[in-house]
Structure 1
Amino acid sequence: MRTTGRRAAMSRHLFVVPPLIGHIGPAVGVAAALRERGDEVAWVGSAELIRRVAGPVGCYPVTGPLTRNGAANRPTGLRGFAALRFLWENFLVPLADEMAETVQDAVADFRPDVIFADQQALAGALVATRAGIPWVTSATTTSELTDSLAAMPKVAAWIGELQAGLKRRHGVDGGGDLRFSPELVVVFSSVEFSGMSEEGPLRFVGPVVDGRMPSIDPRWSTYDITRPLVVVTLGTASAEIADRFLGEAVRAMVALGDEVQPIVVRPGGGSADGVDVVESAPLLQLLEKASVVVCHAGHNTVCESLSYGVPLVVAPIRDDQPIIARQVVDAGAGIRLRFGRSTANDVMAAVREVLGVEKYRLNADRIRQSFAKAGGAERAAAEIATLTRAR
């Protein structure tokens, strides 16, 4: 992507994102808000994924194997430190090595005023630190902000050593943790939901869904919801280990019968005694009508559901999901199940309780209001603009 002949712009922003749809989506809304302000935006990452979400935007494509495959090669069943070790040694650090040269080329060509770097795209912060360009952290989940490793200093030190090695390989002398900009961290949650405080560089802007390419299925636009709509989805990143739980969820929906109108998103689709089992479905479109969402406690799915005031049944699998599930329960906006052990009866009982006890809906609506007040993409863009003017 060359930028010769570009129009004058207030500022130029380079977005550096990993090959993960859930991390690209919120950034797209912020990029749209910056363009509305008259600024110019370019991207570094998987061009195919970025354009799938954002449309025909300017992109410096990364074409290495990790960028092409994302987390597709991740072994199933990893938990605890084994999962964390695989994430850092086999994805985050190698991905940064893979992306760094393209980010550097983009900086030389696009000459950004600010780099907007996802926490899992360390190359953005790496190159920004080396080039002396201000950078903003995009925190698509709050798990990295909870200091969950405080009780595990050896693990924290190990992560520090991995980052130090990455910096040495790319000629970066010093600098702090590449996951946290010292100037601005945009968090796609709210103070009320996360239980954290907005201090230092942290700015909680709530979930951002605007700016993405619309995913509208005419079938669901005319769907007749005469009973409470229950949406069951475990996200694309969990597809390889989701089958057992989804099978139990389908049986639960069958047992609930006319009490609910269920839609279960399951690889391969299919049907089961009147229950709609589909390969995919436009979640944002369904949330406008949903009464309960059953999910894996992925941060995007949870926050998108709560942004519509929809309470949840969460069954966390790995990574940040237990932390997000705890936030759901602490907020009183849903019930937590055990992913590996829950039966159809457990799922059925949880859905019935969330539907029947008003506090879940009221608390979900309270979180919805906190998200709306957080300011969304417009506040994120304003904070970035303030940082740019201060330089």
Structure 2
Amino acid sequence: MSRFLFVVPPLVGHVNPAVGTAAVLAARGHDIAWAGPADLVRRLAGPNAHVFPCVPCDPEPDDVGEFAGRTADLKGPAAFQFLWERFLIPLADHMAPRIRTAIEEFGPDIVIADQQTVAGGIVAESLGLTWVTSATTSAELVDPLAGMPKVAAWLDGLLEALRGRIADGKGTADPRMSPHGVLAYTTSALLGPVELPEHVWLVGPSVTDRPASAGFPWEWLDGAERTVLVSLGTANMDASGPFLNAAVQALSGLPTVRAVVADPAGSVTGAGENVLLLPYVPQLPLLARVDAVVCHAGHNTVCEALWHGVPLVVAPIRDDQPIVAGQVTAAGAGVRLRFGRADARRIADAVGTVLDETGGYRAAARAIGRSFRAAGGSRAAADRLEGLLPRPESPPGGHGRGREQERSGIR
């Protein structure tokens, strides 16, 4: 069997898709290791995961840049600049020597590097390894900088300077889009009519079971006419307060709706009896029982909702979220709100719109969900990775296809 090293950032939405793919590979007998935040990976992939610690789950700002100190008022180019200068580039500088150590000690046949751990691709390429990009968001697939050549040139300069520091300038590939292959956890039903190179593989979301959250009061949902989940993700706690309070006010005024609201910062006050406030929720099993989701258009939450055929109200905050929100609305699977102007009335109207069966939002969400399941998800991703492995020698009289290639189905 072969060895696969997954390089991931300290972001739940970027680790979760890799967990599903890694689980399939492990079930097929391959050895799996991780380079990333040890505690987070073991929480999501299981306590026995083989992890080379590259970054703590809750890093100190002086350690690797301002991982969590992102201001809520940054938007557009300012947010993009902050993301790269204060988060992704410092993260890469911090992780690079540890990734090199992980490669030397584990000896992977293939490295799978998340798009936001650019050091993974740069280091792997400099060592002459086969490496694949894990694209856990579709934003880079549509070239978000196509209309901003100066910003694109600025980013190219940052990446080249990084390559010089961590790989002695070796390599030429874009570390966000490996020439060996890109695992894109989406489908054209959500992505839209975008022309992609052949080595970009639309495998669909990698949705897999996660460790159960104890103590969720499932009986609270019994008898609900309609149920709505509200979640802005753990990375947006600095900006979530006003929106979550407006959402709770809106949903408290809808007596036929029960709402589960994830409030990790404890910022919500004055919830009605039909609103359940919790710091964290078991999102996957909950999505099987809700009728709509209100979220920030994070790619992971959007795809998991659509996997279950659940329509969305999306209020993007920053980064890739406006692009993902645009894909949701273009596909007819949800309604978009402006995050900073989403008061209780607007949120209530949007929720009512997506819950109305005559609007076609649920039908569109279910159609996307069917495309996700047909794409294969984690199994298709594992097939693609196995297809990059060297083919074993054929026995006399053989036809040049080894057992692994026959099983993977890659031609």
TM-score normalized with structure 2 length: 0.89
Shift of 1:270: 5.8
- Structure 1 position 262 matched with structure 2 position 259: yes
Pairwise mapping of residues 53-64 of structure 1 onto structure 2 (< 5 A)?
Answer: 53-56=44-47, 57-63=49-55
C-alpha distance 345-231 of structure 1, shift in aligned 2 (>3 A): same
Q: Shift of the alpha carbon at 1:213?
A: 2.6
Kindly report structure 1 stretches of 4+ aligned residues shifted beyond 4 Å. 63-70
**Offset of 1:277 from its aligned partner?**
2.0
CA distance in 2, matches of 1:390, 1:150: 38
CA contact (8 A) 1:13 1:40 kept: yes
Partner in structure 2 of residue 27 of structure 1: 18
Match for residue 7 of structure 1? none
> CA offset at residue 225 of structure 1?
3.7
* Structure 1 counterpart of 2:365: 364
Shift of 1:94: 1.2
Unaligned runs of 5+ in 2: 393-411
Give the letter aligned to residue 213 of structure 1.
Answer: P
Residue 184 of structure 2: aligned partner: 187
Per-residue deviation, residues 362-381 of structure 1 (Å, max 9, x unmatched): 00000000000111101100
SS at 1:242's partner residue?
helix
Deviates more, 1:154-163 or 1:69-78: 69-78
Distance 1:390 1:324, change over 3 A: farther
Offset, 1:12: 0.3
8 Å Cα contact 2:95-2:119 kept in structure 1? yes
Q: Aligned partners of 2:196, 2:25: CA distance in 1, in Å?
A: 22
1:362 corresponds to which letter in structure 2? A
Q: Would the aligned equivalents of 1:18 and 1:67 in 2 still touch at CA under 8 Å?
A: no
| 3-state secondary structure, aligned to 2:291 | strand
Aligned to 2:305: 305
- Correspondent of 2:111 among 100, 115, 118: 115
CA shift at 1:173, angstroms? Answer: 2.1
1: distance between equivalents of 2:271 and 2:344?
14
Residues 127 and 164 from structure 1, CA distance in 2 versus in 1: closer, same or farther, beyond 3 angstroms?
same
Distance 1:164 1:390 in 2: 34
Could you tell me whether the CA contact under 8 Å between 2:231 and 2:296 is conserved in 1? yes
Partner-residue secondary structure (3-state), 1:316: coil
Aligned to 1:96: 92
Contact 1:191–1:198 (CA<8 Å) still a contact in 2? Answer: no
Shift of 1:254: 1.4
Residue 38 of structure 1 is matched in structure 2 by 29
Counterpart amino acid of residue 352 in structure 2:
R
SS at structure 1 position matched to 2:387: helix
Taking only the aligned residue pairs, the percentage that are identical comes to 47
Residue type of the alignment partner of 1:113 = D
Q: Where do residues 267-282 of structure 1 align in structure 2 (5 Å cutoff)?
A: 267-268=265-266, 272-274=271-273, 275-282=275-282
Contact kept, 8 Å, 2:10 with 2:40, in 1: the verdict is yes
Q: Is the 8 A contact 1:114 1:134 kept in 2?
A: yes
The whole-number CA distance in structure 2 between the counterparts of 1:35 and 1:217 is 30
In structure 1, what is the Cα distance between the partners aligned to 2:382 and 2:330?
30
Once the two structures are TM-superposed, the CA of residue 75 in structure 1 deviates from its matched residue by: 2.3
Is the 1:333–1:364 contact (alpha carbons within 8 Å) kept by the matching residues of 2?
Answer: yes
Structure with larger RCO (C-alpha < 8 A, sep 6+): 1
Paired residue secondary structure (1:340): helix
Structural RMSD (CA): 1.8
1:324 is aligned to: 324
Q: Is the 8 A contact 2:10 2:57 kept in 1?
A: no
Which residues of 2 match residues 1-391 of structure 1 at below 5 A?
A: 10-56=1-47, 57-63=49-55, 67=59, 71-170=67-166, 171-195=168-192, 196-197=194-195, 199-210=197-208, 212-215=210-213, 217-220=215-218, 223-257=221-255, 259-266=256-263, 267-268=265-266, 272-274=271-273, 275-358=275-358, 359-389=360-390
* AA matched with 1:49: L
Q: Is the contact between residue 190 and residue 368 of structure 2 (CA under 8 Å) also seen in structure 1?
A: yes
Query: Aligned AA for 2:134?
Result: S
**Equivalent residues of 1:140, 1:187 under 8 A apart:** yes
Q: Which moved more, 1:261-270 or 1:176-185?
A: 261-270
Evaluate the alpha carbon distance shift between residue 315 and residue 109 of structure 1 in structure 2; reply closer, same or farther with a 3 A threshold. same
Could you say which residue in structure 1 is the equivalent of 2:401? none
Partner of 1:389, secondary structure, is: coil
Distance 1:62 1:246, change over 3 A: same
The residue type equivalent to 1:277 in the other structure is L
Q: 2:10 touches 2:56 (CA, 8 Å); kept in 1?
A: no
Change (3 A) 1:352 1:211: closer
Q: Distance in 2 between matches of 1:390 and 1:270?
A: 60
Cα separation, partners in 2 of 1:313 and 1:16, compared to 1, 3 Å: same
Unaligned runs of 5+ in 1: 1-9
> Does the CA-based 8 Å contact 1:54-1:211 persist in structure 2?
no
Q: Which residue of 1 aligns with 2:396?
A: none
> How many equivalent residue pairs?
381
Distance 1:152 1:14, change over 3 A: same
Give yes or no for contact 2:39–2:56 (8 Å, CA) kept in 1.
Answer: no
Following TM superposition, by how much is the alpha carbon of 1:212 offset from its aligned partner in structure 2, in angstroms?
3.3
